Amino acid sequence: MKTVRIGAAQGFYGDTIEPAIATAKKGDVQYICFDALAELTMAILVKDKKKNENAGYTKDISLQMKALLPYVKEKGIKLLTNAGGINPVGAQQEVLKVARELGIKNLKVAVVTGDNVLDRVEEFQEKGVALTHLETGETIEKVKSKLEFANAYIGAQPIVEALRLGADIVITGRTTDTAQFLAPLIYEFNWSEDDWDRLASGVFMGHLLECSAQSTGGNFSGKWWEIEGFDQIGYPIAEVSEDGEFVVSKVEDRGGLVTVDTVKEQMLYEIHDPSAYITPDVVVDLTNVKLENIGPNEVKVTGTKGKPKPNTLKAVMGYENGYVGQVIVGFTWPDAMLKAKKVDEIIRTQMERMQWNYDEVRTDFLGYNSLHGPLAHDHADELNEVFLRMAVRAKTKPEAARFSRLFPPLALNGPPTMSGFTGNAAPRALIGMWSALIPREMVEEHLKVEIEEV
């Protein structure tokens, strides 16, 4: 039975490229797929584009292409990435530029556009699409005038089209995390758009590969101390059969661990309903999945089922949401926690007296409850040191900036042994997130695939 080998290259913007290079060299893969985007990433890229109209894609694509394009030509490996962010055409041009600098010719670079729907919000509303918040039901009018980006999550089909046009590299904007991984399977095996079980298996494979080394021992909560080679960990590789079954592994001489337990942790990551994991291509049912260790660092995956794809696509929109001002100060034993709490009280009292009405004021005690929240233990009085982190959300940048001015006088006017300021950063703009549903045909009819060749 024909099989396809796919390697994971990136789980987030700024990820290391070393595992992908190892996979290109020794993984015997036909495809290397990247997942560069998260909601936070889109917000970062919007800020980049405000500074430079030609920006808006993940900057590390240049490094990635310099490292991997030689293998594309030497071994025929295809690269699929959503690094285009909010400017996929800009990312395409950057890849073409790198190829020219490397002297690589006869390289086809495809770009998928149409996921960006920021300029179509009015059109959607005129056609009866409410764009109400997916979770709160609030009206879009609340944030409409402050929108900075709006992108629909698209699936694998436009990437498949690019592959059918002969693309060596495919760059998209906002896809689902799994679209890059599913597309090669549809292309290679000619799966139909309603072959729900196989599509679901392809999506699940992509889910297991999308997050860097989380299927190969990274972030593992089991006996992580027994995993060897964290310093050069390998990213997952999937060998997929035409019937949809697949085996997860890694490059043999890279670090990490592939077992039922490591794969299972990634399996459950971000899965709200295991019987209905919704993607644009298929609704995935994981309730009958079977994971089986079949050899050292090899896990076979079977039993994935699929249901018809949804009639809508999820869109995530970012809007201006004020500014954050933050200060971090440290306190030492004795009574470190009491000192930090007292400073929190002093600052809040001063803000109340001066009628500084911020939209939100947050206090965390680093070393005590900043990660555990209300589950923090009851032995705060025994801490050797603690850092007070206070942050405010303000409507304007000057309002956020003035917050930090309250702290310097407390070095001499407050509780003893305040260690100084370690986090008095300049105010920064905040971007809020708005999720809504759009009838899929309204988005998909505007998707476009274009190819340029070096």
* Contact between 206 and 270 (Cβ < 8 Å): no
Strands of 296-402, DSSP E? 298-302, 305-307, 312-332, 360-366, 385-394
User: What was the pLDDT predicted at 370?
Assistant: 87
Other Cβ atoms within 10 Å of 111 Cβ, number: 25
Burial 176-213 (b: 16+ CB within 10 A, else e): bbbbbbbbbbbbbbebeeebbbbbbbbbbbbbbbbbbb
pLDDT at 33: 98
Torsion over CA: 255, 261, 263, 265 (sign): negative
| Tens-binned pLDDT, residue by residue, of the chain (454 aa) | 899 999 999 999 999 999 999 999 999 999 999 999 998 899 999 999 999 999 999 999 999 999 999 999 999 999 999 999 999 999 999 999 999 999 999 999 999 999 999 999 999 999 999 999 999 999 999 999 999 999 999 999 999 999 999 999 999 999 999 999 999 999 999 999 999 999 999 999 999 999 999 999 999 999 999 999 999 999 999 999 999 999 999 999 999 999 999 999 999 998 999 999 999 999 999 999 999 999 999 999 999 999 999 999 999 999 999 999 999 999 999 999 999 999 999 999 999 999 999 999 999 999 988 888 888 887 777 889 999 999 999 999 999 999 999 999 998 899 987 776 666 678 999 999 999 999 999 999 999 999 999 9
pLDDT reported for residue 138 = 95
